[in-house]
Amino acid sequence: MINPLLPFLLLALSSPADDPITKKAHKLHQRILTLDTHADAPIMMQKPGFDVGVAHDTKRDGSQIDFPRMKAGGMDAMFFAVYTSQGPRTDSGHAEAKRNALNQFDLVHKALKKYPDMAELALTPEDAYRIQKAGKRAVFIGMENGYPVGKDLSMLKTYYDLGCRYITLTHFANNLIGDSSTDPDGPIYGGLSEFGKKVVPEMNRLGILIDVSHVADSTFYDALALSKAPVIASHSNARALCDFPRNMTDDMIRAIAKKGGVVQVNFVSDYLKKPSPAFQIAKTKYRMARVGQVMTPELQAKLQAEGDSLTKVFSSERASLADIANHIDHIVKIAGIDHVGIGSDFDGGGGVNGLEDVSQIENLTAELLRRNYSEKDIAKIWGGNLLRVLGQAKVQ
């Protein structure tokens, strides 16, 4: 007699790799080019002893990106973001921001020189496909926050020559280019500054994509009107699903699409779903525990334990693969399949339940397959749309 529980026992013993959708996602990743427009790998690369050419453990090291894990996950290309937090809008502040940015460019170039068989700098869409065909990872470079430009327009050419192919005009606070969506002191220009109105055309001339993630709505519309090339939101979500000021309204999504650009969906939980008040309070307390503290090994261990406990208690508050796919669905509904992509923000706060680091990106592809996206659609989402726009970045 056949045990009536046998089907359930077999299901329990089967591994996720046995799932037909999982298998299909894996095979699909071997055929298409996958690209992520926002990876904060340089944040980790600045830490003493960190080696991007060696596989790391996400939980132990707090790292989500390295070349081996990119290969393991089927991630062909990423934009490594040269990120500088907004400091004082002074000559000394801008000088320090430039020093910081140039150091990060140097770190990326040195890593690529150290591991020529693993990864290569990409500057064009053609480079990405060539490098993928060679079995290596394609590393593009973007710049998050135009702060290192300072008030010197010639720095745009300097950064372009080092490989920069997009610049996020602002970050969490206003800079000399324009207003941010989240500056606690509010706007100072009402959009782009007079200097910012020179920055956008120069970026068009050079072939640097204008990235409107993080900018104030007024800055967004100024940049969109002024740019002769399509613009991108390198790591932003839909405000209709998560009401956060750095997410895009439906009108903004439509405007980006009308100009031929793309909105690259972000994996940061707070921008995917609104947390409960209890979770917000707990996170604030956790973050405040770091303020003014000397980070000793003992304190680091204590904070790690508290962070693990917080994650466990509020695990249901964290966004999931379904939340990412919901934002993709919404943008496709609003703007069409040609105007959405992926900008994970790994190593910068990105990561959801079921997608903790770059080695797990096939899980998102499986979710899209379950929602009946075709291979052609998924190829567009995972890089085709962005590479099309990158090819249109240079306008004389």
Going from N- to C-terminal start, the domains of the chain cover: 16-273+319-390, 276-318
What pLDDT is attached to residue 298? 74
Question: How confident is residue 121, by pLDDT bands cut at 50, 70 and 90?
Answer: very high
For residues 169 and 11, which has the higher predicted lDDT (pLDDT)? 169
Alpha helices in 56-114, H assignment, sequence order: 58-61, 67-73, 91-114
Residue the block writes with tokens 């926002």: 38
Question: What pLDDT score was predicted for residue 283?
Answer: 55
pLDDT above 80 (res 369)? yes
Does pLDDT of 303 surpass 70?
Answer: no
Give the pLDDT band of residue 77 (cuts 50, 70, 90). Answer: very high
- Identify the pLDDT of residue 327: 98
Average pLDDT over residues 176-203: 97
CA distance 95 to 106: 17
Helices (H), 115-244: 125-133, 155-161, 196-206, 217-226
The predicted model gives 314-321 an average pLDDT of 79
**CA–CA separation, 218 vs 295, rounded Å?**
39
Alpha helices in 246-320 (DSSP H): 250-258, 269-272, 277-288, 297-313
Average pLDDT over residues 311-336: 88
State the Cα–Cα distance between residues 325 and 133, nearest whole angstrom: 28
Q: Say what the pLDDT of residue 145 is.
A: 98
pLDDT tens sequence across 231-286: 999 999 999 999 999 999 999 999 999 999 999 999 999 999 987 666 665 655 65
Pick the CATH number of 16-273+319-390 from 3.40.50.1370, 3.40.50.300, 1.10.10.60, 3.20.20.140: 3.20.20.140
Task: Please count the CA atoms within 13 angstroms of the CA of 263 that sit on its side-chain side.
Answer: 33
pLDDT given at position 7: 42
Q: Find the radius of gyration of the CA atoms of the chain.
A: 21
Decide which of 333 and 298 is more confident. Answer: 333
Share of the chain above pLDDT 70, in %: 86
Cα distance from N-terminal residue to C-terminal residue, the chain = 78
Query: Which of 39-43, 116-120, 288-292, 301-305 is predicted with the least confidence, judged by mean pLDDT?
Result: 288-292
Q: What is the mean pLDDT of residues 100-104?
A: 98
User: For residue 178, what pLDDT is reported?
Assistant: 98
What pLDDT is attached to residue 277?
65
